[in-house]
């Protein structure tokens, strides 16, 4: 492992999993049907929780205490496919500029947790084996509601990828199988290992950060492209490589 690695693990930039969806308009989420269209909020229905209603009697009650559940229908502007979404609503104060200078108001932020069908984090190529596709879709379904479970599922995808690369190694510990990869797969070794470690971290600590899940999806896409499309693909390799080196180094230190 290189000594040039900075001590702090870089935060792979991505905030989609923790971003609220708008009450109307563009959600910046890919359509799970056509993959090229973007989803827009068609309608949202929300309802304040009973616990939240009871809290109104508290003398120190503030508007920002309001909690609600919501359901929303999103639709794709390209293919008209509809996606159903459930999540939590939270009230927060916002400042905006107007003719009097600055004013304040309260808005409800709709934080999505579940989408049906799941939002794709990348396009799964047709020729990816179906057993891998199924597991990737399982990980997509967990991306907004449970980062740790999503990390576990991505580790399962790595096992499936290893079954494709090395069908005779089934039953051998994943760590050993990755370590034993031959020269032609040398370039994906540290990426596979990093996702494996994140899956382990998710199991042992029961939590994973949003940016680690974002990194794992991006890295998985790179692995799939290298294994099933073209081993020479180098897209975003340096940024992902640096993050993977940090994860692998921290995991080895913690052993
Ligand atoms: Zn679409």
Q: How far is the CA of 250 from the centre of ligand 1 (A)?
A: 40
Q: How far is the CA of 98 from the centre of ligand 1 (A)?
A: 37
Instruction: Write down the pLDDT at residue 3.
Output: 47
Q: Which residue has the tokens 């792979």?
A: 12
The CATH number of 130-254 is: 1.20.120
Query: How is the chain split among helix, strand and coil, in percent rounded to 5?
Result: 45, 25, 30
Q: Residue 150 phi/psi, 5° resolution? A: -65, -45
Q: How far is the CA of 75 from the centre of ligand 1 (A)?
A: 8
Instruction: Write down the pLDDT at residue 37.
Output: 96
Q: How far is the CA of 82 from the centre of ligand 1 (A)?
A: 8
Q: Residue 76 phi/psi, 5° resolution? A: -90, 130
Q: How far is the CA of 117 from the centre of ligand 1 (A)?
A: 12
Q: How far is the CA of 228 from the centre of ligand 1 (A)?
A: 25
Instruction: Write down the pLDDT at residue 2.
Output: 45
Q: How far is the CA of 183 from the centre of ligand 1 (A)?
A: 40
Other Cβ atoms closer than 10 A to 20: 17
Model pLDDT for residues 197-222, shown as the tens digit of each residue: 999 988 888 889 898 999 999 999 99
pTM here is: 0.88
Token pair in block for residue 217: 């999806």
Q: How far is the CA of 143 from the centre of ligand 1 (A)?
A: 20
Question: Which ranges of the chain have pLDDT less than 70?
Answer: 1-15, 236
Q: Where exactly does CATH 1.20.120 map onto the chain?
A: 130-254
Q: How far is the CA of 126 from the centre of ligand 1 (A)?
A: 17
């Amino acid at each position: 492992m290189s000594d040039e690695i900075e001590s702090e693990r870089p935060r792979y930039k991505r905030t989609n999993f923790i971003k609220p969806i708008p009450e109307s308009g563009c959600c910046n989420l890919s359509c799970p049907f056509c993959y090229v269209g973007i989803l827009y909020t068609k309608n949202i229905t929300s309802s304040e929780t009973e616990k939240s209603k009871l809290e109104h009697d508290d003398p120190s009650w503030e508007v920002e205490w309001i909690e609600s559940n919501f359901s929303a229908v999103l639709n794709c502007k390209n293919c008209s496919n509809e996606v159903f979404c459930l999540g939590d609503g939270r009230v927060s104060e916002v400042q905006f500029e107007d003719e009097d200078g600055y004013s304040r108001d309260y808005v409800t932020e709709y934080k999505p947790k579940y989408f049906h069908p799941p939002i794709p984090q990348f396009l799964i190529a047709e020729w990816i084996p179906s057993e891998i596709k199924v597991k990737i879709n399982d990980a997509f379904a967990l991306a907004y509601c449970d980062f740790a479970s999503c990390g576990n599922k991505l580790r399962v995808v790595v096992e499936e990828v290893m079954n494709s690369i090395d069908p005779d190694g089934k039953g051998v510990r994943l760590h050993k199988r990755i370590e034993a990869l031959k020269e032609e797969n040398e370039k994906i070794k540290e990426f596979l290992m990093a996702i494996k470690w994140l899956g382990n971290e998710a199991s042992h600590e029961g939590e994973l950060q949003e940016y680690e899940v974002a990194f794992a999806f991006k890295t998985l896409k790179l692995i799939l492209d290298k294994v099933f499309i073209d081993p020479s693909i180098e897209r975003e390799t340096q940024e992902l490589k640096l993050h993977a080196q940090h994860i692998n180094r921290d995991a080895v230190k913690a052993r």
